[in-house]
Amino acid sequence: MWQTASSLISKVRGSLLNHRNHGLRIHAIKCLQVLILMQTKRERNDGPRDDISLYLVRPDHRLLNLSQLDEEGKQMFNTMIEWLKRTDEHGSVLTAVISCLVPLVKKRPQFARQVAAAFVNCFKSSPAVLPNPQKRNVEKAIRLSLVTMIRADQLAQYRNEIISAFGAVGGNTAIFQNRQAREQREREKREAEEARRSKRSLTGKDDGGQGKRARVLEQAPISQPPNPNMQQSSSLDSQNARASIKPSVRPPPTQTPPNPLAGFDVTTLPLNVVVELCVAVLQNISMETISQRIHMVSFVHI
């Protein structure tokens, strides 16, 4: 069985990756993504159980050599990285490589720096032989992939480097920097709250609860016998207050101002403005959301 699996892996890495047909090369790249996940290690051995990796192989296995498999997995990963440097590759194949690297790096965060650097190099030195539509698709795939990596919780420790890479490919880093600063302030606020709670709990333990009882006694009101003169004056004051209350007059409702864009004709917008608006929206939408919307539109047409 292992011999059969080894022959299939060699077939994928050899003839299929270099096949003349674009579709076969794309499917071979997807197979390579799965092989890399199988033949590499996670950063920690506490990931999801459905994540197949070398941690599932016993160190004393009779047939499988862990160090050799791990080295082969790194070589296959380098093959995908080097693929982005090809100057004669079709745009659809480059886009497939970019799309396969994103889920790969989310499960193997140790490759985040290499993937981000490869995206920047591919963006800056895209093949000159690519037609303009294919070149734009590759650049768009790189930007969207970097956005997905920035928002991934698994890559939080590399977020600053990925944001820098996003800025290097022309992305607006301010949206993520503001969000990062806000998250930092919220995290510091939570840590301060936890520190105060722990300090109060330690103080309560040290004084044996005497401080808490003393605070309760201080805050408790001292009961005094009622004074009939005070009760009579308070009742007169309440009667006078009720008599002085006048019914409130509700102001007339304000009218909603007319919408200034109600009569605007969107077909009069210049084409370059429409394209910039579409690109700005797509840069702030994840690949998962785009895929879901495409699936919904396809389902409606069916």
Q: Where are the domains of the chain?
A: 2-171
pLDDT at 4 over 70: yes
pLDDT at 126 over 90: no
pLDDT at 74 over 60: yes
pLDDT at 147 over 60: yes
What is the chain's mean pLDDT, rounded? 77
**Of the ranges 116-130, 141-155, 201-215, the best mean pLDDT one:** 141-155
pLDDT at 255 over 80: no
11-25, 73-87, 217-231, 286-300: the lowest-pLDDT one:
217-231
pTM (two decimals): 0.57
Length of the chain: 302
Residue 148 is predicted with a pLDDT of 92
pLDDT digits (tens, 9 = 90+) for 178-219: 666 666 777 778 888 888 888 777 776 555 555 555 555 555
Residue 6 is predicted with a pLDDT of 78
Helix, strand and coil content of the chain, in percent to the nearest 5, comes to 70, 0, 30
Higher pLDDT, 46 or 79: 79
pLDDT level of residue 115 (50, 70, 90 thresholds): very high
Distance CA 16, CA 6 (A): 15
Q: Are 163 and 120 in contact (CB under 8 A)?
A: no
pLDDT digits (tens, 9 = 90+) for 48-66: 566 778 878 878 888 778 8
Q: Contacts for 36-42 with beta carbons within 8 Å, 24 or more apart?
A: 36/73, 36/76, 36/77, 36/80, 36/104, 36/108, 37/104, 37/107, 37/108, 38/73, 39/69, 39/70, 39/72, 39/73, 39/76, 40/70, 40/73, 40/74, 40/77, 40/108, 41/70, 42/107, 42/108
pLDDT at 258 over 70: no
Distance CA 88, CA 128 (A): 9
Residue 290 is predicted with a pLDDT of 77
CATH of domain 2-171: 1.25.10.10
Residue 296 is predicted with a pLDDT of 74
